[in-house]
Amino acid sequence: MVARWPIEERTLDDLDLDLRNVRIPGGDLDESAIVNYLVEAADLLDLMRGILRDGYIDNELPVVLDENGRLIVLEGNRRIASLKAIQRPSLLGKAAAKVERLVSRHPNADTPTEIRVMVAPSREAAQPLLARLHTRNPKKPWIREQQAIFYHAQLAPGMTIDALRALYPGEQGSVITSYIRMGEMREVVRNLRYDDPDLEEWVKSGKLTITSLEYAYDLPKIQDALDLRFDKNGRLASKRMTEGQRQALIYLLMRIRAKTLNTRSPELLAKREEHAEFAGHLRLIVTGAADGATSDPDVDAAKGNGVGSSGQPAAGTSTATGSAPGGGTPLSSDAAAQGAIPRDGAGPGPAATTVGESAGNAGTSGGVAGSGSDSKPASRGPNRGDTRSRLNMDGFEYGGSKGAMRRRFEELHRLDVQIFPNAAHDLLRTVLECSIKEYFAVRVQPPATQSPLKGKQLGACVESLAKEFQSDRRMTALIDAINRKGRLPAAQFAGTEFSLNAGNHEPDYLVAGKDVHEAWDKIKPILIEIVGK
């Protein structure tokens, strides 16, 4: 019984903070690292302020455990950490100055260096007390994830779910089951293999709140799509994930980190059509029928890109079959995303080229845009421009007089093309078509109130521009890159009239941020010529 545990008076130096406490992220941490973590995660400064103002109150004694001659604090880590930091502010590193200012405001504060503690006979004996204090008590409660960690940690060999429910009768069985389920998923995602160290650090440092992931995996369709099999007690049938499951879970984590997937997202609203489509694509990732996120900086599918690293659609891309713009043989959305030709062809061409090495260079060096002979395999490295959130506007400044056009270019400049690739792609088509119309209205004809191309669509505008610049080899090369048709690699397909129209007219067609960058690199040198300063 707790009432019979011995009470001893010990110095603060005799007490060690508990690395296994649910508030502490774990790992090889020293006392300073733990205290600094608690400052950020557990409102330690507020507690210190209260102790300095009101004094230390020991109506609830810290509970400690004697392990190898040291006293480990099982209950009261925040209080002990606060007292230690008040006595030695240097523990807090960058936050030390804040503590020193607090101490200076309370020169007569009663801050003991020795306190009374209750010594528990074992960690197991202390667990019911910790649960009562933190899961059902008005004192600072553990957040849901911390409660899940606590209950899940009890499932040591020999401890069944029924025994756990008997040990904590105050908790409803269904609540404990949900905690166990969350604990299982937390263990799974922390044990995944990550290709992106930043994502791994985000998951394992406590920045990921598992409740965010819970909104997804708790939905029956998504749970089924991920092939997660929980028993009636919340335990996973297997915590060894297949490669497909790993890819799908990493995709979800990337979307959550990028804040493009949350409780308000239509993908997580069970009654929305997007939810079924999202679950369907997750299933394709799990089975290997579609690529998922790779944690590759070139893909960044977490920000809503429609295409994965190999050109396959990422989550949110419809797998339905659509028609090729302008009629003809149906295209799959996979093929459309790569700029492929109809299914009776041989599929997409060779590996994609980077626009900076093809069409983009035509704007500065006079090379032939999109020339197959000049195409080079796409490089894969962290410095590629197509991973940026914003389009590279260097060298372009709108020089026209149309307020509406100026606003469109401002919006294009501010759009995050990784989060909103399809909106940016649509706007590219708009500014290209309208810029051509403005050029013919202002620069070619005597200034007119409206363009002679009024009412014409993109194809007719590009054709008129080609005729206008037919004697200009550089502009002809740039315009030819937009006019290209037929079997094209993805990089050469991006920014073509066919691609821009497909994004505007075809319901199954999606683009990725990379495609927007490549399209912009083709279009920008033309815009510099016709509407730039």
The Cα–Cα gap between 532 and 524 comes to: 9
Q: How far is CA 415 from the centre of its chain?
A: 17
pLDDT bracket for residue 489 (50, 70, 90): confident
Q: What single-letter DSSP state applies at residue 443?
A: I
**Cβ pair 343, 331 in contact under 8 A:** yes
Q: Kindly report the three-state secondary structure assignment for every residue of 245-280.
A: HHHHHHHHHHHHHCCCCCCCCHHHCCCCHHHHHHHH
Coil, helix or strand at residue 311: coil
| Whole-number average pLDDT of the chain | 76
Higher-confidence position of 35 and 13: 13
Across 223-239, average pLDDT:
90
**What is d(CA 50, CA 56) in angstroms, rounded to the nearest whole number?**
8
Lowest mean pLDDT among 108-122, 281-295, 406-420, 442-456: 442-456
Decide: 45 and 156 in contact? Cβ < 8 Å: no
User: The tokens 């202390």 sit on which residue?
Assistant: 126
Burial status of residue 465 (CB atoms within 10 A of its CB: 0-12, 13-18, 19 or more)? buried
Task: Tell me the one-letter amino acid at 172.
Answer: Q
Q: What is the pLDDT of residue 159?
A: 74
Q: How many residues make up the chain in this entry? A: 533
The pLDDT of residue 171 is 65
Mean pLDDT in residue range 74-78: 89
> Domains of the chain (ranges plus CATH)?
2-121 (3.90.1530), 175-295 (no CATH), 333-531 (no CATH)
**Backbone dihedral angles phi then psi of residue 114, each to the nearest 5 degrees:** -125, 135
Q: pLDDT tens digits for 126-169?
A: 888 887 776 654 455 567 777 777 778 777 666 777 887 777 76
Of 318, 301, 299, the residue nearest 249 (C-alpha): 301
On whether the CB atoms of residues 17 and 39 are closer than 8 A, the answer is: no
How high is the pLDDT of residue 161?
79
Q: Quick one: pLDDT at residue 455? A: 82
Distance CA 426, CA 511 (A): 10
Q: Would you state the structure tokens that stand for residue 90, as one six-digit string?
A: 């240097």
Which helix (DSSP H) or strand (DSSP E) does residue 120 occupy? strand 114-120
Mean pLDDT of 261-272: 89
Helix (H, G, I), strand (E, B) or coil at 299: coil
> Each residue of 450-460: pLDDT tens digit?
567 888 899 99
What is the rounded (10 degree) CA torsion for 462, 467, 471, 472?
A: -20
Distance CA 466, CA 417 (A): 29
The span from the CA of 377 to the CA of 490, in Å, is 11
Read off the pLDDT of residues 314-361 as tens digits, 9 standing for 90 and up.
Answer: 333 333 333 333 333 333 333 333 333 333 333 333 333 333 333 333
State the pLDDT at residue 294.
44
The pLDDT of residue 7? 92
Q: Which residues of 492-510 are buried (b: 16+ CB within 10 A; e: fewer)?
A: bbbbbbbbbbbbbebebbb
Residue bearing the bigger pLDDT, 143 or 396: 396
Instruction: Give residue for tokens 């009654």.
Output: 271
CB 262 within 8 A of CB 215: yes
DSSP 340: -
Q: Tens digits of per-residue pLDDT, 25-60?
A: 555 566 777 777 677 655 788 888 889 988 888 888
Report CA-CA distances (Å) from 417 to 92, 159, 243: 40, 51, 29
Q: Which pLDDT value is given to residue 263?
A: 84
* 3 state DSSP class of 240: coil
Which carries the bigger pLDDT value, residue 430 or residue 394? 430
Q: What is residue 27's predicted lDDT score, i.e. its pLDDT?
A: 52
What is the structure's pLDDT at 395?
A: 87
Nearest to 252 by CA among 207, 198, 212: 212
Which residues fall within 8 angstroms of residue 365, CB to CB, at 6 or more apart? none
Residue 331, pLDDT score: 35
Q: Determine if the pTM surpasses 0.75.
A: no
* Predicted local distance difference test score (pLDDT) of residue 220: 92
Q: What is the mean pLDDT of residues 425-446?
A: 85
